[in-house]
Amino acid sequence: MKNKFQWNNLFLAIIVVVLVVFPFVSDSRTWTILLTQIFIFSILAMSYDILLGYTGIVSFGHAMFFGMGAYTTAVMLKRMEPSIGIFILSVVCGMLLAALISFFIGLLTLRLKSHFFAMLTLAVSGLFLVLAEKWRTVTHGNDGFTFKAPEFFKDRMMFYFVTLICLVLVYLLLQRFVNSPFGRVLVAVRENEQRTRSLGFNTLHYKVMASVVAGVIASLAGSLYAVSLRFVNTSVLTMDITLDALLMTIIGGVGTLIGPIVGAGVIELTQHYLSGLAKDYPIFERWIIFFGIVYILAVIFFPRGIVGTVREKLWKRKKKTRPVEKREVS
Amino acid sequence: MKTLLKVEDIHTHIGQYHILQGVFFEAREGEVSVLLGRNGAGKTTTLKTIMGLTPASKGIVQFNGQDITKKPTYTIANGGIGYVPEDQGIFGDLTVEENMKVAMRKEDDVAFARQDYVLELFPDLKTFWKKDGGHLSGGQKQMLAMARAFVNDSKLLLIDEPSKGLAPIVIEKVMEAITEVKKSTTIVLVEQNFMMASRIGDRYTLIDDGETVHAGEMADLIHNEEVKRKYLGIG
């Protein structure tokens, strides 16, 4: 794992340098906005990877934590002053709310077998969606509402750097988390929960904590998403958001952390490119069909996700070139 | 000699099936107690019931004088019972080192000293130290499974069919390791290979159709051709 850790960091460092330089060499507003969206969805997808990739939990309700962050930030910035201080406070409040809710939901539902848990998360997420629709005095129902972002974020480039910093910090934090003894137990739970229990671990405790960490990070992504649009409505709580996170994780590679970032990039760029083709080729007005074909091809050619499959191929090549492996305990 | 584990009339249901229908046995401190019986007799379920993985619907499991029948698995494990399951339960995406660290729980001097002792029993593991558990052979997985159980200095070890599907040379290594661990730990062993069981076992319990049908000293069973033929199909 240590070796993977170093390669991941090197890869990320190169990408980060390119992304830091990018706004200074390109004045494309479209690309700045698109990359900002990719950063935000990468954070969401990484949070989902903690559940699916590292703990083996399938949740269909992850959007509720994303929505919690988005609504908390939007409501606080609208009702209080749109300052950077209130923004930070709203992010912290959203995270605390997500931590509390994910803790109780996890405690009540994670005892169940995986498919029952998945269905329950869908039901609870539906409850939050209905709550947002009906609590019109605060959420303005399905129509949603606009709000002013802090002055600091009016410059798109500033917001670009804020989301990039958040992405890097979340990545490093989660990498530390999954490589810690706690993270090792999460992988053990995913691999064989019964065996992990018989080694003396209260697996429910570990699953609940993973769910809290995933919920808190998803809430951060939601807060950033709301500010990027200066608008929020109930779409942030829908199943589409969860499915996006799920697909980004699966296409990028589950249990890799870097995979969801790659997945978010591939999906957002493909969406952008295919929908853009409609201007010149009318057939691409139905771009969603082509998008589906891209998904299918990705799953066929990268069964373990892009990063997972590349790693596997590298490992096999390494094994072929070095058949006898003799390493001593350090 | 003190009784460390006492199993009294346990009944276990899995779904609609009544698997264990009255299993009794004792494991005395410092001894190797072997559970014998044909395939499907209920030996593995007995170990799982002791560990709380398939809880008993009736009966009592006492460990070190305490009733552990209804306790959760992790509490039983933390109380000092190590378990090596039949399928080894290796974490395939973790390296051998990480598998050991998960099992050790603490990473202090005492734990590392214990790890060194275990690696003396299974020196081959050092060669595969950085290899993913999923890429090990059957014999290597069995060694790792046993090393993981031994690393915690448990008071009692439950070992399920350690020789299953292994080459004779690997079985010999496993035998040597169990013989060494036996000096300091009480063991309950499930084993189909009677030759192996009779070499390391002190006492035996015969299980047939989910209930205890015979028990006694291993030395007596070796010469009891009738019981061996009737319940084990050998002799």
**Tens-digit pLDDT profile for residues A142-151:** 999 999 999 9
Mean pLDDT (chain A, rounded): 89
Residue A308: its pLDDT value, please?
Answer: 87
Q: Which of A156-160, A218-222, B191-195 has the lowest mean pLDDT?
A: B191-195
Residue A233: its pLDDT value, please?
Answer: 94
Instruction: Name the band, by pLDDT with cuts 50, 70 and 90, for residue A319.
Output: low
Asked if residue B227 lies in contact with residue B37, where contact means CB atoms within 8 angstroms, the answer is no
CATH topology of domain B3-232: Rossmann fold (3.40.50)
How many beta-carbon pairs below 8 A join chains A and B?
76
Helix (H) or strand (E) holding A16: helix A2-25
Q: Distance (Å, rounded) from C-alpha B43 to C-alpha B205?
A: 10
Residue among A192, A255, A329 minimizing CB distance to B126: A329
Give the angle A175-A67-A49 at the CA atoms, nearest 5°: 25
Asked if residue B26 lies in contact with residue B3, where contact means CB atoms within 8 angstroms, the answer is yes
Give the angle B41-B47-B51 at the CA atoms, nearest 5°: 150
Q: Distance (Å, rounded) from C-alpha A309 to C-alpha A300?
A: 11
Residue A5: its pLDDT value, please?
Answer: 58
Q: Does A144 touch chain B (CB under 8 A)?
A: no
Residue A6: its pLDDT value, please?
Answer: 67
Cβ of B126 and A200 within 8 Å? no
Instruction: Name the band, by pLDDT with cuts 50, 70 and 90, for residue A325.
Output: very low
Average pLDDT value for residue range A95-100: 97
Cβ of A201 and B74 within 8 Å? yes
**Between β-strands A145-146 and A231-232, what pairing exists: parallel, antiparallel or unpaired?**
antiparallel
CB-CB neighbours of A17 under 10 Å: 10
Cβ of B95 and A325 within 8 Å? no
**Tens-digit pLDDT profile for residues B20-32:** 999 999 999 989 9
Instruction: Name the band, by pLDDT with cuts 50, 70 and 90, for residue A45.
Output: very high
Cβ of A199 and B92 within 8 Å? no
The C-alpha of B142 sits at a distance from chain A's nearest C-alpha, in angstroms, of 14
**Tens-digit pLDDT profile for residues B148-186:** 988 888 899 999 988 887 888 888 888 888 888 888 899
ipTM of the complex: 0.86
Average pLDDT value for residue range A12-25: 89
Residue B12: its pLDDT value, please?
Answer: 95
Residue A326: its pLDDT value, please?
Answer: 45
Residue A8: its pLDDT value, please?
Answer: 66
Residue among A191, A201, A328 minimizing CB distance to B92: A191
Given a cut of 50, whether residue B102 has pLDDT beyond it is yes
CB-CB neighbours of B109 under 10 Å: 8
Q: Does A318 touch chain B (CB under 8 A)?
A: no
The C-alpha of A316 sits at a distance from chain B's nearest C-alpha, in angstroms, of 11
Put simply, the chain B residues between 84 and 143 with a CB less than 8 A from any chain A CB are 85, 89, 91-95, 97-98, 101-103, 105, 107, 119, 126-131
Using the 8-state DSSP alphabet, how is residue A282 labeled? G
- Chain A residues in contact with B152 by the CB 8 A cut-off are 200
Residue among B77, B127, B130 minimizing CB distance to A200: B77
Cβ of A199 and B91 within 8 Å? no
Q: Does A280 touch chain B (CB under 8 A)?
A: no
Residue A254 has phi, psi (to 5 degrees) of -70, 145
Q: Distance (Å, rounded) from C-alpha A285 to C-alpha A299?
A: 24
Asked if residue A231 lies in contact with residue A149, where contact means CB atoms within 8 angstroms, the answer is no
Asked if residue B153 lies in contact with residue B115, where contact means CB atoms within 8 angstroms, the answer is no
The C-alpha of A6 sits at a distance from chain B's nearest C-alpha, in angstroms, of 15
- Chain B residues in contact with A255 by the CB 8 A cut-off are 93
The C-alpha of B128 sits at a distance from chain A's nearest C-alpha, in angstroms, of 7
- Chain A residues in contact with B131 by the CB 8 A cut-off are 325
Given a cut of 50, whether residue A327 has pLDDT beyond it is no
Instruction: Name the band, by pLDDT with cuts 50, 70 and 90, for residue A330.
Output: very low
Residue A161: its pLDDT value, please?
Answer: 95
**Tens-digit pLDDT profile for residues A211-230:** 999 999 999 999 999 999 99
Report helix, strand and coil shares of chain A as percent, to nearest 5: 80, 0, 20
Cβ of B74 and A255 within 8 Å? no
Structure tokens at A249: 């994780």
Mutate which of A4, A185, A198 to disrupt the B interface (most B C-beta within 10 Å)? A198
Given a cut of 80, whether residue A287 has pLDDT beyond it is no
Put simply, the chain A residues between 196 and 215 with a CB less than 8 A from any chain B CB are 196-203
Q: Which of A111-120, B41-50, B150-159 has the lowest mean pLDDT?
A: A111-120
> Which amino acid, one-letter code, is at A250?
I
Residue A67 CA: distances (Å) to CA of A37, A128, A179, A234, B11: 16, 9, 29, 8, 49
Q: Does A6 touch chain B (CB under 8 A)?
A: no
Asked if residue B175 lies in contact with residue B196, where contact means CB atoms within 8 angstroms, the answer is yes
Q: Does B1 touch chain A (CB under 8 A)?
A: no
Nearest CA-CA partner of B194 in B30, B35, B22: B35
Asked if residue B117 lies in contact with residue B111, where contact means CB atoms within 8 angstroms, the answer is no
Cβ of A188 and B77 within 8 Å? no
Return left, alpha or beta for B11; rule: phi > 0 is left, psi -120 to 50 is alpha, else beta.
beta
Residue among A200, A325, A327 minimizing CB distance to B78: A200
Residue A205: its pLDDT value, please?
Answer: 95
Contacts of residue B30, Cβ cutoff 8 Å, sequence gap at least 6: B1, B186
Helix intervals (H) in chain B: 43-51, 73-78, 96-104, 109-121, 124-127, 138-150, 168-182, 194-200, 218-223, 225-227
Residue A324: its pLDDT value, please?
Answer: 46
Given a cut of 70, whether residue B90 has pLDDT beyond it is yes
**Between β-strands B3-14 and B17-28, what pairing exists: parallel, antiparallel or unpaired?**
antiparallel
Instruction: Give the start-to-end residue ranges of the domains of chain B.
Output: 3-232
The C-alpha of B154 sits at a distance from chain A's nearest C-alpha, in angstroms, of 11
